Each structure stands twice: as structure tokens, then as C-alpha cells.
Amino acid sequence: MIPDLKKNVEAVMKDRTGAPGKGLDVLLRGAAKLYGGVVDLRSRLYDRGALKTSTLPCKVVSIGNITVGGTGKTPMTIFLADSLKRKHIKPVILSRGYGGTATDSGGMVTDGQTLAMDSVCSGDEPFLMASLLEGVPVFVGKRRMESAMEACLRFHPDVFILDDGFQHRALHRDVDILLFDAEHPLGNGFLLPRGELREPVSNLERGDLFVLTRAERRDIALKHFRECLERFKVSEKVRKTPVFTCRHKPAIRGVVKAGSSVLGGWDVDQSGYGDSGVIAFSGIAKNDDFRKSLSACGFSVRGFLDYPDHHAFSTKDIETAARMADSRGVRLLSTTEKDFVRFQDRIILSHDLVVMGVDIDFHHDDGQMLLDDVLGRLALP
């Protein structure tokens, strides 16, 4: 019953063909009005100073979005942290740690060299960032001020990067970067739960820089985004906000051999997989994008199992994929790196597993221009 209800709500949220009738639509519209009232009240209280905003002793950059679902905050956070480090600027990442057991207590995921938590404690996205970034401390916890002060004492950073920080107004930030899916920048225009907006479109005014992700063509993405903004009659400030565009480039992170949990290098010729195909599975915000990325990398997807975002994979889930592979004469499984870290140390595989990641691929000079803009706003010595 509950899974069916979730599917029906999601169908209405995304205005899918064949979505349930008017009853659920009316109910969700009413809930969206209530939600919008609460969000609006909270915004007004922060704007008037009734709710306190704390200031950290160093600069803060927030990476967030105004819609639910995957806009690419994790790869963008990795890009920015790595870019700052290459400029000899010391970043520390602060994440809420969604889905991790350490969300309430908080703590350090990595000091930049050694992992201090597993993905169950930290949540999959902070663990992934901690695994991929060398020399960048990562902290989790819903009380980000406490995490930040601990990080200040231990590492004396130049910049904090707030992962998914746009709605976390309890901390002052020097730069707010907002990400949008280029195909559906503002969803269907409705607030949760009727649509995908976490805040009213008018709150885009808090953003300093906009990035359109998953933009295959820059010109089309920019045109579509401007049309969306015009439809909502946004302020001049929003219309003049700098906009950058990028693609999500699929990348093979490596292969885990059957009987192992260690991610090794990938060489399709040495591995001898050829065109035998893959059985894929994922539990991310946009599973279909993962399926398409496999095809883009030359894999023949012979079967696909999709799960809800942040799904906690069980032995049974992996065995289901393995049985599908055996029944279809496929030797290879595949999943995303975000999914892999959730079961990496818990489940021994019976088939080889290709792990896929996503890299940010900016159009033209947008990556350098974005970085230059951020550095200019931070005004670091």
C-alpha cells in the first residue's frame, strides 16, 4: 500500500501521463499550500533577524538547489573542493549526512587522509566525497555550526563548503551556488508535495551563482532556463544572476571482482567482458540517467533494477541482480559509486561489478569562470 502511494504521489509530482485522478491532485495541492506557508514564514523570520544566523570565522560557500532530486550537488562539491585545493586554499566540507547514523551526533568522516566513518555512519554522499577527495576533511551532522567549530580547531580551513546548504540558513554564507537540472530547472512549478520545489521561486534571489547541470547543449539549456524564469516573473536580480552550464560525464571508476569488495582498475580488453552486456541496479534520484550513462559508455544493458534514492541494499537485492544475470547469460553487474559505498564492506559479490561515477564537464570556459567568480566573491588573501 505504502509503495503504491509513493509511486502515485511521485507520478502527480512529475505530471506523468496516467497519473492518478483529481482526488490525489487536490490533496497534494492543499498540502503544498500548507508547506509553502511554513517555508514562507521561516524565510521571513530569517530575513527579519528573528531567527539567528551564525557567522563562522572563515569564508563559506553553499552548494544547493531549490528542487528535490539529483541536480549533481555531490560531483559539484567535489569539483569545487578539488579546484580550491589546487589553488592552495584549504577547504573543509560540511554535510548533514542524510541517511547516516551520525546525522544527530555529528563527527568527522575523514581528516583528508584516513576515513574515520563508514558509509552507514556518514551517509553515502559524504562517504563518497571523503573517499574521492585527498587532503580535504569532511564533517557530517545536522548542527553544522558545531561541526564547523570543531573543524576550525583541528584544521584551520580557509573555506567551508556546505553540501546541500541552500536551505540551511542558520549559517551565514559568502557565496550561494544553486544547481538546476537543465531539462527541468523548476520542476512543474509547484511546491512539495504537489511538485518538486523546496522553496518558492522568488527565493532564487538568495542565489549568487546558478549552474545548469545535465546540459547537453549550452544554448538550448540557457534558452529554456530563461523561458522558465520569465514564466515565473522573477525579479531583475534573479534574471541578472550569472549562469554557467555543464554536463554530467559518466566515468568508469573501476571493477570489483567476484568474491572481493575491493575496487580495482578497469581495462575492458584485459577483463575480457566484450559485448556480453550488464545487469545494472541503482538507488539514486535519477535511476534512468544511470541507465543511459551505461549505454553512453558502450555497455549493453540487458536488465535494470531501480530502487528509491538512498536505498540500503541487502544481500537479497544483490542476489536478485545476480540471478537475473545468470538467467540472461550475462557475466557482469553494474551500479553507481554512490550505491556501491552503501554495501561495499557488507556483501560479497558472486559476479564482477563495474562501478560507475559522474564527473562535471563544463561547457567552454564555464568551469574556470565559475571558479574565478567564486574566488572573487570570497576575496581571500
Higher pLDDT, 311 or 269: 311
Q: State the cell numbers at 190.
A: 509547484
Same domain, 241 and 258: no
Please tell me whether residues 172 and 40 are part of one structural domain.
no
Identify whether residues 84 and 101 lie together within a single domain.
yes
pLDDT at 381 over 90: no
Q: pLDDT tens, 284-309?
A: 989 999 999 999 888 999 999 999 99
Question: Which pLDDT belongs to residue 69?
Answer: 81
pLDDT 10s digits, 112-156: 999 999 999 999 999 999 999 999 999 999 999 999 999 999 999
Total number of domains constituting the chain: 3
User: Does a structural domain hold residue 200?
Assistant: yes
In a domain, 52, yes or no: no
Asked if the model's pLDDT at residue 229 lies above 60, the reply is: yes
| pLDDT surpassing 80 at residue 45 | yes
Q: Average per-residue pLDDT in the chain?
A: 92
Q: Please give the Cα distance from 232 to 251 (Å, whole number).
A: 36
266 plus 190 within the same structural domain:
no
Say yes or no: 183 and 254 in one domain.
no
Query: Which tens digits make up the pLDDT trace of 61-82?
Result: 999 999 998 899 999 999 999 9
What confidence score (pLDDT) does residue 1 get?
43
Is 296 found in the same domain as 169? no
Same domain, 125 and 231: yes
CATH of residue 286: 3.40.50
Same domain as 333, residue 318: yes
Which residue type sits at 353? L
Q: Does residue 145 belong to any structural domain of this protein?
A: yes
Domain presence at residue 53: no
Same domain, 94 and 238: yes
Q: What is the CATH number of the domain that holds 368?
A: 3.40.50.300
Let me know if residue 54 belongs to a domain: no
350 with 225, same domain?
no
Flag whether pLDDT at 377 surpasses 70: yes
The closest of 269, 264, 67 to 180, measured between CA atoms, is 67
Q: Do 121 and 69 sit in the same domain of this protein?
A: yes
- pLDDT tens digit sequence for 152-210: 999 999 999 999 999 999 999 999 999 999 999 999 899 999 999 999 999 999 999 99
Q: What is the pLDDT of residue 107?
A: 97
Mean pLDDT calculated for residue range 23-43: 93
> Mean of the pLDDT values across residues 352-359?
95
Q: What confidence tier does 95 reach under pLDDT thresholds 50, 70, 90?
A: very high
Say whether pLDDT at 35 is over 70.
Answer: yes
On whether residue 139 sits in a domain, the answer given is: yes
Do 63 and 33 lie in one domain? The reply is no
What pLDDT does 280 receive?
Answer: 98
Three-state SS sequence of the chain: CHHHHHHHHHHHHCCCCCCCCHHHHHHHHHHHHHHHHHHHHHHHHHHCCCCCCECCCCEEEEEEECECCCCCHHHHHHHHHHHHHHCCCCEEEEECCCCCCCCCCCEEEECCCCECCCHHHHCHHHHHHHHHCCCCCEEECCCHHHHHHHHHHHHCCCEEEEECCCCCCCECCCEEEEEEECCCCCCCCCECCCCCECCCHHHHHHCCEEEEECCCCHHHHHHHHHHHHHHCCCCHHHHCCCEEEEEEEEEEEEEECCCCCCEECCCHHHHCCCCCCEEEEECCCCHHHHHHHHHHCCCCEEEEEECCCCCCCCHHHHHHHHHHHHHCCCCEEEEEHHHHHHHCCCCCCCCEEEEEEEEEEECCCHHHHHHHHHHHHHCCC
pLDDT of 272 above 80: no
- Its domain, for residue 30, covers 2-47
Say which residue the cell 576515513 belongs to. Answer: 115
Rounded CA-CA distance 87/15 in Å is: 44
Q: What is the pLDDT of residue 274?
A: 55
Amino acid 161: pLDDT: 98
**In the prediction, which pLDDT does 18 show?**
52
For residue 275, pLDDT beyond 70:
no
Mean pLDDT of 9-20: 66
Give percent of the chain above pLDDT 90: 83
pLDDT, position 8? 72
